[in-house]
Structure 1
Amino acid sequence: MKKSPGILIPLLLFLFLVIGNAFAAPPVFDVDREFYPYYPSLIQYQKSGAEFTPPEVCADCHQKQYEEWTGSIHSLAFQDPVYQGELNLAVKKVGHEISRQCEGCHSPAGVVTGEIKGPGNKGLSSMALAGVSCDICHSIVGTTHWQTPSHEPENGSFILRPGVDTENGPELRKRGPLAASDGCGMGFHTCEESSLHLQADLCAGCHQVYHYESHFPLEASYLEWKHGPYAQKTILCQDCHMVDFDTFIRTASEFRKPERHEYRHVFNGANYLLYYLAAGAAKKSGDEALAANIMNKYEMAIARLKAAADLEIDPVYREGQLAEIRVRVKNIRAGHNLPTSLTNIRQMWLEITATDEKGNLVLSSGAIDAEGHIPENTRIFNSDGMGNDFHFAVDPWVITAFSRHDTIPPKGYKDVYYGVSAVDTSVVKIEAKLRYRQADQKIAEKLLANVPEDIDLQAVYGLIEVPTLPVVDMVSKEARFNARR
């Protein structure tokens, strides 16, 4: 008996849907939208009549800390034009709800109050524009990461509570690492001692970034630290990034915690490009004092980069002939991997030059060209991102895995070998540089070309075109080896 195609086709469609659903990947985890109301940002907000306090108000009693924070990466987190360009692209590609994952760490108050509704600075309060300000860190009362698959801090996994409602009205409560002293807050706010402020978890919520859907770790600075020697020695994020340069050197070299009086609200790291741009904006506005403040932080960031790594250069002989040069790249003072953060964007690479006694070139690798491009044969330390289609990807909302991940762990090293052809000389001179750039020139140009319309790069930063990104020589070494032995 011949079956009617009118019955067969719906039956096949039904079977296709059943089988397809059976093999479809389930969500990484069931998101409790009441627990995570700002998902994919994992912030919680315990709202009361006590509102957030803008940093300029804090400055009335904490002038020293305010000046340290001003011009820091925390203070610039939301207004950063590179971030704003990335955010603008993200909103266009995946929508504002997904992009809240970024906003939750770059302006937490702006997210939980509902003030930020997209990219740009127009119409925002000083509190929203202040990024990660005094009242953000000192209003954190807990973490929210235990419901995630990894149970690790990520994507803004903290609880904000600037104060509470009492019988006498709203009361501001600020938390910090010290026991509350008599008169703390001088009647403006009360004080609470917080053990969380003495843990790396305080920082980890925004320095551990997972893909909003696949839950792949795009940034893993916290886990790099947690699985390394600094965590074992209880040297925390705060012990290296909230101190001046000399204290950082001692702490990172000797595993010795800073004294209480040595901590500063500088939050200094390797993002020298943001300092560079912000200092230009301060000069453009005529605020020379602010420009000088930011340039001091810029110079500290450069100094930290130069102190983080070291190189060893050694010859490798075969049958009495110099056959290879071994360059050992060592992470000697970074508590996380080198590089860290968005490792698919960061660029740390070796530039090697070998010459004979007459100055003739024997070997060359890693020299960037006039347009800032790094040659393909360069030994570079970073990651290559890819999407679900296994194709190369750069945008963080696309990356669901790394096809290559090559970074150097704390107190670890990587060896790189360079072959040397037989040379008619008695001595070979080697020059080695470990170089660092925050991003490829083309990526920076793309992001700055996509800043929101209300951010005028020429008016604010004096930029007519994207400048050549600064390259930092973290380490430079020379060595001479006999061509034969």
Structure 2
Amino acid sequence: MNAQPGPRLLLAFWLVTMVPAALAQQITGRVIDADSGQPVVGARVHEQARPALDVVITDAQGQFALPVSAGATNVPVAAALPYSVDAPVNYETEVDLADEGDDIVISLRPIPDQENVDYQPIVGAPPEGCGSCHTEQYAQWQESNHSRAAVNVRVRDLYSGDGTGDGTGPEADGYVFTELHDAEDTGFCATCHSPNENPADPGGVKFNETSTAAGLEGVTCTSCHQLHVINDDIESIHLLGTSEFRFPLSFRGGNEVTHEHVWGPLDDVGFGQMRAAYAPFFKTSKMCAQCHEYENPETGAPGQDTYSEWLGSPAAAAGVQCQTCHMPEADAPGPIAAIGAAPQRPAEQRHDHSFPGVYSGVLGDPVELEVEIEPTGARVEIVTRVHNRVTGHDWPTGVDVRNAMLVVEVSLNGEALVQVAGDQVPGWANDAEPGVQPGDFGGLAGRGYAHVLEGRINGEGPVVSPVNFIDADALVSHSTIPPGQTDLGRFSFELPPTALPGDELAVRARVVYRRVWREIAVTKGWTEQDFDEPWERVVEDQTITRSLTEGDLDRIFFDRFGS
């Protein structure tokens, strides 16, 4: 009879047979500099388009060991070093195919140091532009406000008086920047509204002189994807301190290919016609701050505070970035390019480039309104609560001309009651026409929500308010509702001594949002025109009623008797 193997022999057999199999379930290799052959330390290595799988980091020798499934073949192994403006060398991302058990070398091509000083950013429109390959993203972008930034007729009316007309009608009335400022002043509008017009001198571009194809596309593909840094100087004007373009000078077969150099949030792009760099800041709210936070460069008056509002918000505390709401994930997996055998990516790597806002899909009702009514003595007391449902920034937010108001009106049997206590809507809710016009809510019971600036136009003449940030010296009031918070209002109206049981009290409370000050809209004739987005919206409109009771009237009697 043959002897049976003992426990030690079985253990040795298991170690000999099982350990090599375990070690084989990986792809090993090195990541090196394609020019020098030196190891790239700290590179991220993982399987392309599989963000749920492990990411390994190269060691001091540039080596890595990436776990893969047993028997895996043609695994797309991606390597990228996070881009840093302070790094001595930065690299393009790369993807190589490998099988389980392979030992490979991934060569990362350095991004050239030399800049293409003659480069003009390409357009997004096909057939020459980004939309030829990124068809889905381009179609989404066409529906966005970003695509219309350079041809925004209302901005043009304010800038040069010729946006909604030829400059001979009401569009040329009221505030016109070019008529009220020195000839050399630009106002810096084009730095955000048409950043690709002249990247070599963005602050020198006049908004009404935007003329190149790339400039007229507004905030287009390369306006974001050829930015290589967003720094901490957030209050500076876009491209004039807070952010920078980069246009590396590269060639392929003698042809200049600077347009292929792009920066973005993916660390696993591998396509021969795209020289991508992995820039983690694309995933953060700081990416949006470059245009959505700034101040007057001379006086320091705050023009827009949206990023600062986010920094102190519940969303920021929870790690929710601007992109979470304004570039939401796709509904399904799919590619991000229409050519080149692009990999199928999960929804979390595919984002909406229409940049939806509060009124275009993210939150249809940005605020909630509650109204309480209580006869107290000889008065009717109204308590209102306007709750900002937006958790990432104030409401309203954005450029300084945006504003909103709560308007409260009380009647008894259809006759308006007189307000005797409580806040009133500020005068900025009115137009400049003589008398009181429909929509002139200033002086009515209510509350105002706005970012109000004061200053002298072109630094001359009397101090006026409200003014645009470029003319502002200081912030007068800041009454917007912080994210997730509630504004409380209390208002008192006098009941007439003739009130009887059964008389009906009616309280109407409205929350109205305006994209610009009413004076501007009326003066420019915008109230009579149709736009993609109306200049005014009624966000909430509630009417509650109550019949007076004997008890109410007893309280009224004793209140008056006691007084």
TM-score class normalised by the smaller sequence: 0.5 to 0.7
Change beyond 3 A, Cα 1:203–1:153: farther
Q: In structure 1, what is the equivalent of residue 505 of structure 2?
A: 428
Task: Give 1 or 2: higher strand fraction.
Answer: 2
Q: In structure 2, what is the equivalent of residue 346 of structure 1?
A: 402
Deviations 1:274-330 (A, max 9, x none): xxxxxxxxxxxxxxxxxxxxxxxxxx53x65642111111235646x7641111111
Query: In the alignment, which of 243, 256, 261 is matched to residue 158 of structure 1?
Result: 243
Q: Look up the SS of the partner of 1:159 in the other structure.
A: strand
Compare 376-385 and 66-75 and name the one that shifted more. Answer: 376-385
Deviations 1:84-137 (A, max 9, x none): 233333344444654252211111111314597534357x22101011100111
Shift of 1:434: 0.9
Q: Distance in 2 between matches of 1:67 and 1:467?
A: 24
Q: In structure 1, what is the equivalent of residue 76 of structure 2?
A: none
Change beyond 3 A, Cα 1:447–1:179: farther
Residues 329, 347 of structure 2: 8 Å contact kept: no
Q: How does 1:372-451 map to 2 (within 5 A)?
A: 372-377=439-444, 378-387=446-455, 390-422=463-495, 423-426=499-502, 428-444=505-521, 446=523
Q: Distance in 1 between matches of 2:283 and 2:329?
A: 18
Change beyond 3 A, Cα 1:160–1:117: closer
Q: Distance in 2 between matches of 1:224 and 1:447?
A: 31
Name the TM-score, length of structure 1 as normaliser: 0.68
Q: In structure 1, what is the equivalent of residue 218 of structure 2?
A: 131
Residues 375, 381 of structure 2: 8 Å contact kept: yes
Q: Look up the SS of the partner of 2:471 in the other structure.
A: coil
Instruction: In structure 1, list runs of 5 or more residues that go unmatched.
Output: 1-44, 248-257, 271-299, 450-462
Residues 292, 304 of structure 2: 8 Å contact kept: yes
Q: Distance in 1 between matches of 2:331 and 2:440?
A: 34
Q: How does 1:61-76 map to 2 (within 5 A)?
A: 61-76=133-148
Shift of 1:69: 0.4
Q: Look up the SS of the partner of 2:519 in the other structure.
A: helix
Paired AA for residue 351 in structure 1: V
Paired AA for residue 404 in structure 1: S
Paired AA for residue 431 in structure 1: R
Q: Look up the SS of the partner of 2:520 in the other structure.
A: helix
Q: How does 1:160-179 map to 2 (within 5 A)?
A: 160-165=245-250, 169-171=256-258, 172-179=260-267
Paired AA for residue 307 in structure 1: D
Q: Is 1:223–2:223 an aligned residue pair?
A: no
Deviations 1:214-268 (A, max 9, x none): 1221111111111111111121111111238999xxxxxxxxxx96166200122
Q: In structure 2, what is the equivalent of residue 4 of structure 1?
A: none
Paired AA for residue 353 in structure 2: H
Equivalent pairs: percent with the same residue? 22
Q: Look up the SS of the partner of 2:494 in the other structure.
A: coil
Identify the structure with bigger relative contact order (alpha carbons < 8 Å, sequence gap 6+): 1
Q: Distance in 1 between matches of 2:545 and 2:330?
A: 33
Shift of 1:212: 2.3
Residues 180, 192 of structure 1: 8 Å contact kept: no
Q: How large is the Cα RMSD of the aligned pairs?
A: 3.5
Q: How does 1:50-129 map to 2 (within 5 A)?
A: 51-56=120-125, 57-88=129-160, 89-95=176-182, 98-99=185-186, 101-113=188-200, 117-120=205-208, 124-129=211-216
Q: Look up the SS of the partner of 1:131 in the other structure.
A: coil
Task: Give 1 or 2: higher helix fraction.
Answer: 1
Q: In structure 2, what is the equivalent of residue 210 of structure 1?
A: 295
Q: Distance in 1 between matches of 2:150 and 2:183?
A: 15
Residues 306, 474 of structure 1: 8 Å contact kept: no
Change beyond 3 A, Cα 1:419–1:100: closer
Q: In structure 2, what is the equivalent of residue 457 of structure 1?
A: none
Query: In the alignment, which of 253, 264, 269 is matched to residue 352 of structure 2?
Result: 264
Q: Distance in 2 between matches of 1:315 and 1:445?
A: 34
Residues 149, 194 of structure 2: 8 Å contact kept: yes
Change beyond 3 A, Cα 1:100–1:167: farther
Q: Distance in 2 between matches of 1:482 and 1:445?
A: 39
Residues 54, 126 of structure 1: 8 Å contact kept: yes
Query: In the alignment, which of 367, 387, 399 is matched to residue 309 of structure 1?
Result: 367
Deviations 1:147-168 (A, max 9, x none): xxxx656534211124433686
Q: Look up the SS of the partner of 2:510 in the other structure.
A: strand
Deviations 1:390-414 (A, max 9, x none): 5424233221112222110000111
Q: Distance in 1 between matches of 2:382 and 2:285?
A: 40
Query: In the alignment, which of 193, 204, 208 is matched to residue 278 of structure 2?
Result: 193
Q: Distance in 2 between matches of 1:342 and 1:425?
A: 49
Q: In structure 2, what is the equivalent of residue 329 of structure 1?
A: 386
Change beyond 3 A, Cα 1:96–1:330: farther
Q: Distance in 2 between matches of 1:73 and 1:340?
A: 16
Residues 145, 154 of structure 1: 8 Å contact kept: no
Shift of 1:208: 0.9
Paired AA for residue 161 in structure 1: R
The structure with the larger Rg is 2
Name the TM-score, length of structure 2 as normaliser: 0.59
Q: In structure 2, what is the equivalent of residue 33 of structure 1?
A: none
Q: How does 1:468-479 map to 2 (within 5 A)?
A: 470-479=535-544
Kindly tell me the number of residue pairs found equivalent between the two proteins: 376
Q: Look up the SS of the partner of 1:329 in the other structure.
A: strand
Residues 302, 475 of structure 2: 8 Å contact kept: no
Q: Look up the SS of the partner of 2:365 in the other structure.
A: helix
Residues 404, 513 of structure 2: 8 Å contact kept: yes
Change beyond 3 A, Cα 1:145–1:100: farther
Q: Distance in 2 between matches of 1:160 and 1:433?
A: 45
Paired AA for residue 277 in structure 2: E
Shift of 1:471: 2.6
Paired AA for residue 223 in structure 1: S
